[in-house]
Structure 1
């Protein structure tokens, strides 16, 4: 059975999985304490995590989302995004996320209904102490996406129901 829990203590216990979504622990620690960590479990086995932060002006940022390599492409990432939208739709107007210009992540966010809203040049070069390689390509620029949160999204748990 799939369920999502918020973790408020010992967040760094999930670092092994968080590193899949953001390859540098130092960067994760910049937002982990101020963020809200959610863990998706299937039959009590941790499958995915996400961290969201309040960026002010009714904007919620998805700082990290990671799915265990063993269960990627099973809908867990999409379920966490759907859960986040449902949970925060009344309190926030938009959800933003920044990612590398990668053929693995850009299509994922587009399929989840995000639209491109900007680029931060050389983000990965300027902020990480090592090259970030994804799908054989070094990431340079951060691609910014946004999605409006509608209040009628409310209790939509469709993303979780569609897993499997």
Structure 2
């Protein structure tokens, strides 16, 4: 594969349609987009995007990672996470990621080396203006996973 990962430092909002695949409310994306570092994975065109924020105390958070639908389940998400692990190693001690309690999503992060950390009860019902349903599951709690960075 002839892929490359590049930082996006300007006009981050141009990627909103892709970011909305992973976080479907624009006002929630607005909370972290400008303060986060954004990266794009290109491989004969844009395949994936992510945003990582500094949460203090040596912790960074993967706030959003999205792969364009035709490229999903082809390794692009894992490749981007692997890049982030190397990129942030030495800068942070731990990366966390929050997600809905959906088996395929939590299993994806576990396959990338993340382990269960904690849960925020009613995060989705308290913070989103509409019900969020993923793979037929109504999201209520935010599940956090973490991974140590070397």
Instruction: Classify the TM-score, shorter chain.
Output: over 0.9
Please state how far the C-alpha of 1:127 moved relative to its aligned partner: 0.4
**Paired residue secondary structure (1:28):** helix
Q: Counterparts in 2 of 1:45-60, with a 5 A limit?
A: 45-60=45-60
- Structure with higher RCO (Cα < 8 A, 6+ apart): 1
Deviations, residues 10-45 of structure 1 (Å, cap 9, x unaligned): 0000001000010001100110000001000102x1
The residue aligned with 2:97 is 97
2:30 aligns to what SS in structure 1? helix
Q: Provide TM-score, normalisation by structure 2.
A: 0.98
Report what 1:137 is aligned to.
Answer: 137
3-state DSSP class of the match of 2:24?
A: coil
TM-score (norm 1): 0.90
Supply the distance in 2 between the matched residues of 1:138 and 1:70 (Cα, whole angstroms). Answer: 25
1:86 aligns with 2:86: yes
Deviation at 1:48, TM superposition (A): 0.4
Measured after TM superposition, the shift of residue 103 of structure 1 is 2.0
Aligned-residue RMSD, C-alpha? 0.6
Following TM superposition, where does structure 1 have runs of at least 4 consecutive aligned residues deviating by more than 6 angstroms?
A: none
1:13-162 aligned within 5 A? 13-43=14-44, 45-150=45-150
Offset of 1:145 from its aligned partner?
0.5
Local SS of the residue matching 1:99: strand
Could you tell me how far apart the structure 2 residues matched to 1:67 and 1:50 are? Answer: 9
C-alpha displacement at 1:90, in angstroms?
1.1
Number of aligned residues: 149
Deviation of 1:104 after TM superposition, in Å, equals: 2.2
Match for residue 154 of structure 1?
none
Paired with 2:21 and 2:78, the residues of 1 have a C-alpha distance of 16
